[in-house]
Structure 1
Amino acid sequence: MREFGAIGDGVTDDSAAFRRALAATRYLFVPPGRYRLGSAVKLGSGQRIVGTGKSAWEPYDEAAFPTVVRSEILVDGTLAFDATGSNSSTIEGIAIKAIGGRQSRWGWPAGQQKGAVGVDITGSSQFEARDVSFHGLDVAIDANQRAGSPDTQMPSISDWSASDCRRVFRFGTPTSKVYTVRDARIGEAIVSIHCDGVVEAHRCDGLRLENLRLFHGSGTPIYMRETTFITLNAVTVFESGGDQIVLEDCSNVSAAGLLLARAGAFRGEPPYPQHVALTLNRCRDVHLSTEIQEPSGGAIAVNGCSNVDLACAVGVPFWRTGNQNLLSGAATIRDSIAVHVQGSFGGLGRDYWVSVWADAASAQTLSGSVASDRSIGVFRAAALQQQGGYIFRLPDAVALAPRQTRRFRTLRLFVPAGRVAKARSIEIASYPIELAAAPVNARQMVICTAAADVLGEGPARAVLGTVTEQDHVLYDNREGVAGWYSVDLALRNPTDRAVEVPADTVIALSTVVI
């Protein structure tokens, strides 16, 4: 570089020297120094820029990016390298820093400089970056397809670190209407810290995220929209300001070894805003294997999805939020078809916690198995609950005269001394329904069914539907001894006309012991 006029003092504009060098060679070695680029340097096909390695830095120091200086490129609110349209270009062993960036503290947004971009790879093919670091940039790696430009093919970024970037990887924008990036790989992040977001992908086809550690960000670390064939493997996300992984309108997703901790906990002091570790909106054909700890809101939200397989271990929910909303589940499933949940749920075990909450439509095709403390129930998901989940099917129609009550089953529950057995949710495939609480220790739960308004003579027939309720006391054993106790389950007609509950009506009961 010196023979082409580069100074590397962090003050002199060395962009002309870089252009002269790249005009003379396809392989450019950048010795240790701080090279300021006043304007973007074009990186052509087959060209390779190699330095002495990513910069060493202390991510928790309040000074502005203290380093052991290696091969550093400095930009002041501009683009460093333009690799648009190139084929097989490479950057290796380089640190790219924004002059106007700053080192942020815990709880702060990223200290990025607006307009500072590391590398623009739009329309490139097989761009590769390795052993690189990014500091204080608006966007580190940008692939923002413009009108008429080809899509970006097979970029690979590995062995990297980042601090205080607004976005580390931006593939497309919310207005992207055609595929932007195909077959991209992002791997081996030592750490990405204090970045508002790490991966933002719009309309990509084939995206692999592997072996990443994403720490302390004020926004959503991973957001993907209208992207297909996604693989996430060995990704750790710790303390985000927003939801940690959000996929919208994505398909063919496989994830293994996800570790998501403290969603929503990066902002301020407790109680923290309600944020979810993993959110799926309108996705299909998804398999996820994940460990989730201490989200400020729920652990998993599945909305409007189909064919979703969730294997999860979830600990301490609603971390330091004081959330006592009985409808809030660690996993919440709405308007979805064919969702399978195989999970274990632990943590606080407070009497308001629900492991899986599903709406009536999603519950029809929900399957799987849930293991948990007996104090943790489910909501409209009794078929999942290994302990405390009961499903009954009436073999024959049950005719109820006006004001009549009929027992249909006796439930045997083990209730420890000093504890109370409750129903977390009650479901019956007849509607309208009223749920009447029995007196404490009456050892009977009465499910009241009201007649539907029908024309003609004869007894009314219950109309199929679903209704639920929580916190119905089944047996109060706070003053008794541990043992098995009987609770009668009964149907009651509170109306002045006869009611018939149809044969094959399903009654589902989720119970907890508090």
Structure 2
Amino acid sequence: MSTSMSTSLLIPRGTPRVQYLADGAQRVFTYPFPIFTADDLQVFLGAAPQRTGYAVTGAGATAGGSVTFTEPPAAGTVVLLRRRVAIERTSDFGESGPLPASALNGELDRLTAALQQVAGDQELMLRFADSDLPASPLLPERSLRQGKLLAFDGAGNPTIRAPVDEEALATYIPPGPGATARRVREKLSDVASVKDFGAVGDGLVDDTLALQTALSAARAVFVPPGTYRITNTLTLGHGRTLYGAGQSSVIRGASTAFDLVHLPDGYASLSALRLELGRTGVRLFGRDGPCVQNALTDLTLWEPEVGLLLDGHADPAKPCYWNTVTRVLVAKPAKHGVWLTRSGAGDTPNANRFHGVRVYSLSAPMAGSGFFVEQGRYNNAFLDCEANLWPEAEACFRVGAVTDKTLIVNFYAESLGSLPNLQLDAGSAETAVINLFSASAGPAILDRSGGRYTAVNAGYPEKNRLQRSRIAELVVEALRYDTEFVEPATGGVVALDLASSVYLVSAYGGPVDLRLPAAAEANGHAVTIKRTDASANPMTLAETGGPGPDGRRIALGNRHDFVTVVSNGGGWWIVAGNRLPGNARYHEGAGLFEPDLSQALYLVSAWSGAVEVRLPDPAAPHAVGRTVSVKKTDGSANRVLVTQQGGGGPDSEEIPLTGQGHAVTAMSNGAGWHILGRNP
């Protein structure tokens, strides 16, 4: 057995419905029948069902409770309170299973409430009196009663008569070929006006009930010129349309304590209206269904706290996306002009389109931003929009932390203050900005995202910022490289992060060991490293966790030496380098000298004693393909002996240099050192 109730109510005799006639001052109305939950009570003002603007107390009490309105209903308004429960069974008692009194009482309570509900509905039906003689309750067939009037024959049974309403018989034929005659009454029913439902439009009378009744009765409602004062939120449900005659059709909130218009569902349209005041001018959110494909066009929102609010709300299954906002002016907002956010656990607003939307402070104080995409994933687009703001506002356009792939095209930002034209918060990703006009005194783009944006003709002083792109053909008139100067104070290992294209490196402070990232992490990246100092400190270039460019460590021995390398993902490869004229090193000191082959010429002095110049193994990575010259510079009798690692020397023999000016030039082919020239 399963049950949805653990307690029971006493359901007294009576009809679960009560009506009052409002006097314009009373806010609290009682209902003398029990309800199970607050959702079981329906509240009507006239013919319009209410969803907001009141609170229900007394749910679960046998004696009933009360409804308290935020604002007193207008005098003369009929207030209807009735209980409506779903006629369904929510429990199932198992065969020979337990039968708790609470479950049984709860089921009987529900059944009694449903029966009272049905009985109450029957009281409102057209029916025979209890004392009437038997008569037929059947209507004539549809084909017979079409276009006819209901009547009763001599026996009191239903019958039909020809129409006698002259207005209904009158016809209207529009001009032009192909037009057909229509009844005037049908013609007039094409357009439903709020004035058809009692709206006055003088700016004084409360027209809330009339407007909401019209929206409940008709799918498309026209607001004629006038000023319609409202004291509660208007709800534009699924597929509904509310439209006016432009600036002359004004809906004005009585205060900023409530939103003016809610679009809690999809496929609704709001157009050609001027909305004044309100906590929010128009709020779009998925409460009753997915908030999708709604259209807001040709609107003016005047002096709201927030102009347009797109809210991801509470349910991920009811997202706020694919809505279109076109030709909308938000004037004098106190906080934000356009705000995309999420008030609950729903999805962030995404894929919404804004075209020709303008936020204008008109010198009125403003605390927030013109456009604030606080939360928006993905692909919210803003085309040809503008923000002209109070000097102490936050930003003309702000992209918040929970955003991705926001598109901003041809945006106009202006302010007499120094607020940012465009602010990118930390956490925002892949914002694309095209053609930004920055007329505020603040930064064109205040970037706190770490460069996670793309800009074309935007920003200052760099107008363009492009992320990684693949181009089949590129014609360049001026090519500039991002350059970085590196000079460690005491030398040491320097990891190159490849954030720049050219590194100018100095080793004045000590030996420098430059490290490229692993080739697999830098596929397609090219970088140039050039030495700028003339010190004797060595400078080498290697790869982190890899063999290095062309499979070896590169030495930049002299000032102005450079190398350009590129990664193919498998390794780093040298594509350019240099050996400038005069690339030589002087060595003086007896004993063993092992050149690192970073120079092409070694001038060796043996004044202080004999010197052995030992070349590296010819198969060493930094020796293969190298040509090197060794020359004796002193006139002493001490000799300079040229050998190689492992024994022997060029052409398999040790080469003695005994006189001043004696020299030998050798090259390694990987198997041995071979003499290219010798003196004597």
Return the TM-score normalized by structure 2: 0.40
Distance across 2 between alignment mates of 1:37 and 1:17: 10
Which whole-Å deviations, capped at 9, do the CAs of 1:32-63 have from their partners, x for residues lacking one? 1111110011111111111111x3xxxxxxxx
Distance across 1 between alignment mates of 2:336 and 2:477: 37
Shift of 1:21: 0.9
Shift of 1:178: 5.1
On the 8 A contact 1:12/1:36 being kept in 2, the answer is yes
Q: Is 1:3 aligned with 2:175?
A: no
Match of 2:301 in 1: 134
Match of 2:279 in 1: 116
Distance across 2 between alignment mates of 1:257 and 1:490: 39
Distance across 1 between alignment mates of 2:457 and 2:211: 45
Distance across 1 between alignment mates of 2:331 and 2:211: 25
Match of 1:203 in 2: 376
Structure number, greater radius of gyration: 2
Distance across 1 between alignment mates of 2:428 and 2:203: 43
Q: Which has the higher helix share?
A: 2
Structure 1 residues 492 and 91: alpha-carbon distance in aligned structure 2, compared to 1, 3 A threshold: same
Task: Look up the SS of the partner of 2:211 in the other structure.
Answer: helix
Structure 1 residues 146 and 70: alpha-carbon distance in aligned structure 2, compared to 1, 3 A threshold: closer
Distance across 2 between alignment mates of 1:158 and 1:23: 26
Structure 1 residues 237 and 82: alpha-carbon distance in aligned structure 2, compared to 1, 3 A threshold: same
Distance across 2 between alignment mates of 1:430 and 1:152: 53
Distance across 2 between alignment mates of 1:241 and 1:10: 39
Distance across 1 between alignment mates of 2:300 and 2:468: 40
Shift of 1:132: 0.3
Q: Is 1:79 aligned with 2:259?
A: yes
Q: Which runs of 5+ in 2 are unaligned?
A: 1-193, 470-474, 492-504, 516-530, 541-554, 562-680
Which whole-Å deviations, capped at 9, do the CAs of 1:53-103 have from their partners, x for residues lacking one? 1x3xxxxxxxxxxxxx4434334111111211x1211110011111xxxxx
1:23 to 216, 220, 237: 216
Distance across 2 between alignment mates of 1:507 and 1:135: 66
Q: Is 1:155 aligned with 2:253?
A: no
Distance across 2 between alignment mates of 1:159 and 1:236: 15
1:94 to 244, 251, 273: 273
Paired amino acid for 1:279: D
Map of 1:194-343 to 2, 5 A cutoff?
194=362, 196-201=368-373, 202-217=375-390, 218-225=393-400, 226-239=402-415, 241-248=418-425, 249-264=427-442, 275-282=443-450, 284=452, 286-292=453-459, 310=465
Shift of 1:276: 4.9
CA-based RMSD of the aligned residues comes to 3.7
Structure 1 residues 190 and 223: alpha-carbon distance in aligned structure 2, compared to 1, 3 A threshold: closer
On the 8 A contact 2:488/2:507 being kept in 1, the answer is no
Distance across 2 between alignment mates of 1:258 and 1:76: 36
Task: Look up the SS of the partner of 1:215 in the other structure.
Answer: strand
Identity %: 16
Paired amino acid for 1:491: D
Q: Which runs of 5+ in 1 are unaligned?
A: 56-68, 99-114, 265-274, 293-297, 302-308, 312-337, 341-367, 373-381, 385-390, 392-425, 434-445, 452-460, 466-488, 509-514
Distance across 2 between alignment mates of 1:490 and 1:168: 54
Task: Look up the SS of the partner of 1:22 in the other structure.
Answer: helix
Structure 1 residues 181 and 291: alpha-carbon distance in aligned structure 2, compared to 1, 3 A threshold: closer
Paired amino acid for 2:394: G
Task: Look up the SS of the partner of 1:16 in the other structure.
Answer: helix
The count of residues paired between Structure 1 and Structure 2 equals 305
Q: Is 1:450 aligned with 2:509?
A: yes
Shift of 1:370: 11
1:41 to 234, 238, 242: 234
Which whole-Å deviations, capped at 9, do the CAs of 1:102-149 have from their partners, x for residues lacking one? xxxxxxxxxxxxx61112211111111100011111112222333336
On the 8 A contact 1:42/1:83 being kept in 2, the answer is yes
Task: Look up the SS of the partner of 1:183 in the other structure.
Answer: coil
Distance across 1 between alignment mates of 2:292 and 2:380: 15
Structure 1 residues 176 and 39: alpha-carbon distance in aligned structure 2, compared to 1, 3 A threshold: closer
State the structure with bigger RCO (CA 8 A, min sep 6), 1 or 2.
1
Q: Is 1:182 aligned with 2:344?
A: no
Paired amino acid for 2:271: E
Q: Is 1:491 aligned with 2:664?
A: no
On the 8 A contact 1:277/1:299 being kept in 2, the answer is no
Which whole-Å deviations, capped at 9, do the CAs of 1:263-307 have from their partners, x for residues lacking one? 43xxxxxxxxxx4534250464x4311245xxxxx7579xxxxxx
Match of 2:340 in 1: 171
Distance across 1 between alignment mates of 2:331 and 2:210: 28
Match of 1:329 in 2: none
Is 130-139 or 227-236 further displaced after alignment?
227-236
On the 8 A contact 1:187/1:212 being kept in 2, the answer is yes
Shift of 1:245: 1.6
Match of 2:4 in 1: none
Task: Look up the SS of the partner of 1:94 in the other structure.
Answer: strand
Distance across 2 between alignment mates of 1:369 and 1:431: 38
Distance across 2 between alignment mates of 1:6 and 1:23: 14
